[in-house]
Structure 1
């Protein structure tokens, strides 16, 4: 064999390049061996050959040139069979070498180390130790590498020769300086270990490691539950059978700390002795990263939000299943295409230009967008775009996170609807009304058009709630709402303002006549009969109208003036509509002043009682007196009840005022009794008192405190109230009559009730309304008034009821009543209203 170097060997690292010039880096599994090959390139007695699938020599080291005497220029690019044929003992070398190469190509596994003899020209045969292994990249064998070591020595056995191989100068240097742990195992025990192994296992010195089994540095069980000792034996057998074995292993250091190691266990057979060398790399950080990566991938795969990765050109490179579930697009639909082209449709062409500008400037953008599913349907989405940059600050990817917010938008819309609509009728509430009115006013100002506000209040709705229950009242409100909506246009707004009040905006009306027509339609619609369960009802409404711009230029003024007009409609008999005017406003201001004064009047002792005496028609003697309420107003003077009773009823003060009247009247009657005048006192009961639950208790308290006998108290209710009160009022009157109080019907003849119906009520007296008396003294008067008065008196006598005529002002009227058999009268003919203390003295 020639000692002349006949060709330059490739530089370290060219092994793979020579094998396949365009191939990438070798698989990580052989990183360490590649380093070893590069390091021992110049070592004497070491020859490295690289051969591709076609059997062509692609790598020929300097050691190969020395060992075989063939220069690199002559070997590279030549079939290995041809090169082997030129060597001594060519036939056996070519045959065995070709078979061994074919086995490695076929199995993709390294062949166990073998020894063979190389004859040399005129020299002693050489003992060659060869190992053949594949270079694998991307799961494919790229080339086969052969490392041949001349272990010819002075008669040492095979094991010693293997040890000498490891102790070669260059290899020993690499072995000592390797960052990976390398241990040599003989009969399962550690025979040699490099410094990196001692450090990895945290041993104080080499003796702590040598002589122990590698399984001694393992926990009892591996993370998958397998016994470490059993699994280690299995892996050693696999390495012996296959030549090498790569696996991950959980180790435990001398200090008791656990770590993950990546192990390349290689089997070497020298002179029938089995040796293993293990290369161990600490991969704890990698395992931790893999675990984190696995968790991250699981999160991404199972995330409910869509995650899309794009390249710097905004083309989709990856996405999770959630995006397919949301949009309907598969990865095949999206791959390599611009993200905004599928699944995200901007409302304007410039929208996403602005978005990408924001991402470029700030690194991210987020906001609501309109998405489009593959089927074409639009959906609301929340999108976050982030620019991903590498360690050098260069843009590498874009990350999009997208959520379908249809449900959130639906909930928001539902919440907004609840906030802006009445829960009972689903009409716009006060909040939405004011918003729409603001928009309508702005449009009316811009177009110089007319706008109308209609304020509606149901008549006597409280009576329905009190007598039939709130359930019926709610059903009525819902039906009224439906009828109101049917009476107006789509551009108009019908809202529930609260309680039984509704406000309607008529936008862009053509004139007053159009408003009046709509108001008439509303009145007609509301007054139609209602069938609400077992109840058949008929109600009416009062409507106030305010016009923009004549009745106000602001929301507050228009609504206020329409409210004023509505109250005027109620005062005008209800079931009608009224347009606002300035006089109404003055009346409302007065009413507000009265209400404010009424609330303080009781506490300031401003109420007084006057009494209208009642006389016996036959004898002319006083038999009683009617208590009449007066209000000594600090600014307006003494006010009759007509000026303030209605206000007191509406603002809820009538019950407390009525109780005060009861108490004062009973006290005054008791004073008359104490003075020897056993007169009966008559007190008018208001509708609010009659329907109040505590009326009986209030009467009992007034009688008890004053000491007045119940028979001396006469309680008056109007005929109209008697007609509307029904069974509930009949029950209350029965209780009062059982108490001993006398009951009278006031203003009889105005309510058109039948006298026969009076049999159902425990009444004692009828009061003939004054409107039937003036014509009695007029010779030209028709007979209808006198006939009616005579009929009432006759029928009452038949029912054994006392009859008293009110408003008697002349002797002729008194004479007529006497002739018809009327028992009592009161009026100016006898006496005007006077204070209780002077009543007896005045008529003495």
Structure 2
């Protein structure tokens, strides 16, 4: 306190008569009050900036005891952050003018590291019009500043939030909205302020609103998705969060609503859902969505008795399109087929691509089998039309199986299985057709499944065997080649011929390992004949599946190498229709085989529609005339004319000609007279595991 007032010999003293307090006494009482003021930091400094007075509140504010502050420069104890020079200018102005400046806010930090916002008032202290000190009174306003900052930040959040924010009173009337509200809804603030929240048009009834408000009263919070309307009437999805705000007494004073436009989220969700339920290539429903639709159709049948049909569709020989023209062309075909099938059904029906070239159709609420047959016929006709794959045309067919609900089943798996079974029978009946399911088909399928399982065991258990039938040169009786014929020694059914099990092997894919076994076994046998002095070629039949298989060339190379046979000791027989179906995918393979020296013959020549074209396009060595022509040369004038014509064409192309199915001397003589090179059939030799490879002059000499 002694540092606050000047030490002067002329300092007034109390009146001895008790007449009152001299002029300076009030100041001492005031200083005492400042010293003890709990909320106001008071300090003073002289012209040099040295602290003369430092009250208890200053100690609390800055964390510096009075004893450490008094006598030191103020600038060494307290820093006016970012505005130090401005503060020094204020103090200098007070000393220069003797006037008190306007109070202001300062952000300060003491030497102890404490940081505060203070509200400061600076006053000059004069005596006899002479300034002695600058008096500073400061109030800590940090809490207020933080509250202001929070309020400003809240205002910025309110205005800059991406979500629409609506403030309401306790009666749900709108009191304030932010900028996002107008951007999202299209409503100007003046259109909604003072209106009830329900005026936004969320498309719900009063009961729904009542449930929301009731929920708010209990939980102070409600959240959900609604359909709202913009000012132009456009509907859009919105996520709404409602919060009740309570006052200090616990009473609801206001409500806050936050609206999030979730149109983009819904669009993405719909896109993801669509991708999860639809085929990416064709855009058709996939298996997941189809099964859901089928479940719904069955539920409808149980409730109302309405019938439906499941159609299983498989493209015939689609793999050849991929192999010949590439997968891009295959994709074009699949998309076009999807469009064509869709055009054949109603809007309420469901078409699905299960994968590969398999499609399934659900015909809902049909009147009977005739309606399903009409659709199936339309689909087969539509699919059979040529498809442009970029300058080229391909023609396919579709095999369709149909199962009816409830006649053929009332469960999802049953209907799909029965439709699949019927589709298989459609393929067996010539492809490009449709079949309705029947119980007999199912029994047949069961039998085929059992046969397929038994075939796998047969391959592992060495139950297959080869019989051989020689081809005889007409002119000399010499054996020119021996055809290997596959047989199956079935443990229960005895010796089975190829037509009794090869269709199952082809459908199951077992034809590939079985065919590779035939190649290996036939080449090994040919090697044994060569070691015994009979250097004849062995002929092996190739199936459609082998022609299309990528592993055909490696399998042939391995069989020849394993047996140590030269390539010209192997002749591959290909049925004419299989050759035409496999073209042009097989063309490169055929060229590669001929380059190796392997001989190629066309079997059952004359039974297809493009026989002469096949002779021109493939590097063949031999033509085998089908037994259906040879067998009737003595009775049918057409066959009697066809056989010489085929021989003439083949010879003009420098191809060797073999007549198949020769059973009589008359047939052999006919072939000999018309220049046929070789013959094959029971007249010469039946198929045998040990064929006679010596010259067959006795047969030739028969009358």
C-alpha change, 1:233 and 1:587, in structure 2 (3 Å) is farther
C-alpha change, 1:356 and 1:740, in structure 2 (3 Å) is same
Separation of aligned partners in 2, 1:302 and 1:233: 43
* Equivalent position SS for 2:227: strand
Contact conserved, 1:218 with 1:228, CA < 8 A, in 2?
no
Are 2:629 and 1:769 equivalent residues in the alignment?
no
Shift of the alpha carbon at 1:422?
Answer: 0.4
Are 2:662 and 1:808 equivalent residues in the alignment?
yes
Are 2:200 and 1:200 equivalent residues in the alignment?
no
Aligned to 1:831: 685
Aligned to 1:131: none
C-alpha change, 1:516 and 1:596, in structure 2 (3 Å) is same
| Residue-by-residue CA offset, 1:154-190 (whole Å, 9 max, x unaligned) | 79xxxx9775333348x95576344222345665665
Displaced runs of 4+ in structure 1, greater than 6 A?
151-155, 235-238, 837-844
Q: Of 172, 190, 194, which aligns to 1:336?
A: 194
Contact conserved, 1:459 with 1:575, CA < 8 A, in 2?
yes
Are 2:170 and 1:312 equivalent residues in the alignment?
yes
Q: Of 36, 48, 72, which aligns to 1:176?
A: 36
Aligned to 1:218: 78
Contact conserved, 2:534 with 2:693, CA < 8 A, in 1?
no
Are 2:147 and 1:286 equivalent residues in the alignment?
no
| Residue-by-residue CA offset, 1:113-153 (whole Å, 9 max, x unaligned) | xxxxxxxxxxxxxxxxxxxxxxxxxxxxxxxxxxxxxx999
Aligned to 1:690: 547
| Residue-by-residue CA offset, 1:486-507 (whole Å, 9 max, x unaligned) | 1111111111111111111111
Q: Of 564, 582, 598, which aligns to 2:439?
A: 582
* Equivalent position SS for 1:835: coil
Name the TM-score, length of structure 2 as normaliser: 0.89
Aligned to 2:648: 794
Q: Of 421, 430, 434, which aligns to 1:564?
A: 421
Shift of the alpha carbon at 1:322?
Answer: 1.9
Separation of aligned partners in 2, 1:626 and 1:322: 86
Q: Of 455, 465, 469, which aligns to 2:326?
A: 469
* Equivalent position SS for 1:663: helix
Shift of the alpha carbon at 1:535?
Answer: 1.3
C-alpha change, 1:838 and 1:783, in structure 2 (3 Å) is closer
| Residue-by-residue CA offset, 1:805-832 (whole Å, 9 max, x unaligned) | 2222333333333333333222223332
Are 2:249 and 1:392 equivalent residues in the alignment?
yes
Shift of the alpha carbon at 1:244?
Answer: 5.7
Shift of the alpha carbon at 1:321?
Answer: 1.8
Separation of aligned partners in 1, 2:297 and 2:324: 40
| Residue-by-residue CA offset, 1:449-469 (whole Å, 9 max, x unaligned) | 220111111111100000000
Are 2:151 and 1:297 equivalent residues in the alignment?
no
* Equivalent position SS for 1:551: coil
Shift of the alpha carbon at 1:743?
Answer: 2.1
C-alpha change, 1:376 and 1:760, in structure 2 (3 Å) is closer
Aligned to 2:26: 165
| Residue-by-residue CA offset, 1:691-730 (whole Å, 9 max, x unaligned) | 4444344333322322333333222112223334445534
Shift of the alpha carbon at 1:768?
Answer: 1.2
Which runs of no fewer than 5 residues in structure 1 stay unpaired? 1-150
Aligned to 1:24: none
Separation of aligned partners in 1, 2:224 and 2:570: 78
* Equivalent position SS for 1:836: coil
Contact conserved, 2:478 with 2:695, CA < 8 A, in 1?
no
Separation of aligned partners in 1, 2:28 and 2:343: 104
Contact conserved, 1:222 with 1:228, CA < 8 A, in 2?
no
* Equivalent position SS for 2:102: strand
Shift of the alpha carbon at 1:353?
Answer: 1.4
C-alpha change, 1:176 and 1:734, in structure 2 (3 Å) is closer
Contact conserved, 1:669 with 1:680, CA < 8 A, in 2?
yes
Separation of aligned partners in 1, 2:81 and 2:91: 10
| Residue-by-residue CA offset, 1:492-542 (whole Å, 9 max, x unaligned) | 111111111111111111222211111111111111122221211221111
Separation of aligned partners in 1, 2:24 and 2:152: 43
Shift of the alpha carbon at 1:364?
Answer: 1.0
C-alpha change, 1:306 and 1:835, in structure 2 (3 Å) is same
Aligned to 1:428: 285
Name whichever of 647-656 and 360-369 sits farther off.
647-656
Higher-RCO chain (CA-CA 8 Å, sequence separation at least 6):
2
Name whichever of 668-677 and 505-514 sits farther off.
668-677
* Equivalent position SS for 1:520: helix
Separation of aligned partners in 1, 2:519 and 2:542: 9
Are 2:209 and 1:352 equivalent residues in the alignment?
yes
Contact conserved, 2:34 with 2:55, CA < 8 A, in 1?
no
Q: CA RMSD in A?
A: 3.1
1:584-623 equivalences under 5 Å are 584-623=441-480
Aligned to 2:306: 449
Which runs of no fewer than 5 residues in structure 2 stay unpaired? 1-11, 699-703
Q: Of 600, 607, 615, which aligns to 1:743?
A: 600
Separation of aligned partners in 1, 2:62 and 2:648: 128
